[in-house]
Amino acid sequence: MKIIKNCIVPFFCLVAIGFVFLNVNTIANYIATTLEKNPEIHLPEGNAYHKEDDFLYVQNTRDFVPLSYNDLLNIYYTILNNGYENFTFYCPSEYKDCTKDVTEISNNPETLSYISNFVHPFNSFSDDPNLPTTTEIYESGEINIKVHYLYTEEEKKQLNEKVDEIIEKNITDKMTLREKIKTIHDYIINHTKYDTNEKYPSDNSKATGPLLYGYATCSGYTDAMALFLERFGVKNFKVATKFISDDTQGHIWNAVFLDGKWLHLDLTWDDPVDTSKSESERTDYLENTYFLATSEELEEKDKGEVVIKDHLFSQRIYPELKK
């Protein structure tokens, strides 16, 4: 009897091993399906630049089982908004077009840029082709997202110190919120030249350009202003020009929620450049034409002999700014 018992145990072990070997694909698919239906998503805390703000186009979410395209937009926004470098979620079987929609979003730089416009500048993704934001899609429905961010840790440190310095020297507790915004608007313009000659090509589109080097393009002006708006606790996002045609120049500016309404704030256009003169001969200008303008006022300011296209934005992306 003892001999029989000793034989039975190895026999059943061999049968079990054989069963697993012959059915490995079935078992793997079952596990994948189980994960797909009941994904366990580990949600770490957001970084120091996480925003609690929700917008009409994208919202923070804690539900990482998407059932629609909008759910995917919210997942991408939450990933960026929290500053996650790597994140995994799963497409459920009932969302038939999930992986197709993930592919569409991940391969569309315009869509990714729109999402990125709603997060803190330090949580903006990098569009550097050498450091791409990548999405891996598996047959099991697993989606892995890896994000490379625009600002380095050293740049964040330098910019935070510069923002502290500017606030300490120029902002007082007696100022109203509008006065604080106006003071920073004027400071950035007075200390920045539009980088027409690409003196700082790697910095002019970031806040490092205007705040550390004194040169910027529209993205640099906008990011710099956004850093202060975040410090002041003002709800804001960045507005990008809607693509109309190949002759439309890309442009970006700030949207600010103040006194119960959304307003436009365009520092670039309040710092006009006289291109008829060389840089050494140009006069520095400071205007308030695009300081906290409503959408109606923005449209009116842009009217003239030439219809200006740079402020044409998608009301689908930015419904807060509808007239």
CATH of the domain at 314: 3.10.620
- Residues 142 and 176 both lie in one domain: no
pLDDT tens for each residue of 129-151: 888 899 999 999 999 999 999 99
Q: What residue numbers bound the domain in which 142 lies? A: 69-146
In terms of C-beta density within 10 A (0-12 exposed, 13-18 middle, 19 or more buried), how is residue 123 classed?
A: buried
- Residues 289 and 182 both lie in one domain: yes
- Residues 223 and 247 both lie in one domain: yes
Q: Is residue 43 part of a domain?
A: no
What single-letter amino acid sits at 118?
A: F
Residue 290 banded pLDDT, cuts 50, 70, 90: very high
Q: Is residue 224 part of a domain?
A: yes
For residue 323, what pLDDT is reported?
A: 84
Pick from 231, 236, 204: nearest CA to 220: 204
In three-state secondary structure terms, 146 is: strand
| Helix H or strand E segment including 293 | strand 291-293
Range scoring the smallest mean pLDDT among 11-20, 159-168, 201-210, 306-315: 11-20
- Residues 206 and 314 both lie in one domain: yes
Q: Is residue 56 part of a domain?
A: no
- Residues 216 and 293 both lie in one domain: yes
Q: Is residue 94 part of a domain?
A: yes
- Of the chain, the end-to-end C-alpha distance in Å amounts to 89
Q: Is residue 52 part of a domain?
A: no
- Residues 181 and 283 both lie in one domain: yes
Q: Is residue 80 part of a domain?
A: yes
Q: Is residue 42 part of a domain?
A: no
Beta bridge partners of 85: none
- Residues 117 and 212 both lie in one domain: no
Number of domains observed in the structure of the chain: 3
Sign, CA dihedral 6-12-18-21, equals negative
Residue 163 banded pLDDT, cuts 50, 70, 90: very high
- Residues 229 and 279 both lie in one domain: yes
Q: Is residue 49 part of a domain?
A: no
CA dihedral (167, 233, 159, 240) in degrees, to 10, reads -120
What is the number of residues in the chain? 323
How many angstroms separate the CA atoms of 298 and 263, rounded? Answer: 9
**Last residue of one domain, picked from the residues 146, 176, 200:** 146
The mean predicted confidence, pLDDT, of the chain is: 87
**Last residue of one domain, picked from the residues 146, 172, 203:** 146
- Residues 281 and 175 both lie in one domain: yes
- Residues 231 and 138 both lie in one domain: no
- Residues 31 and 75 both lie in one domain: no
Alpha-carbon 90 to chain mean position:
22
For residue 129, what pLDDT is reported?
A: 85
- Residues 135 and 179 both lie in one domain: no
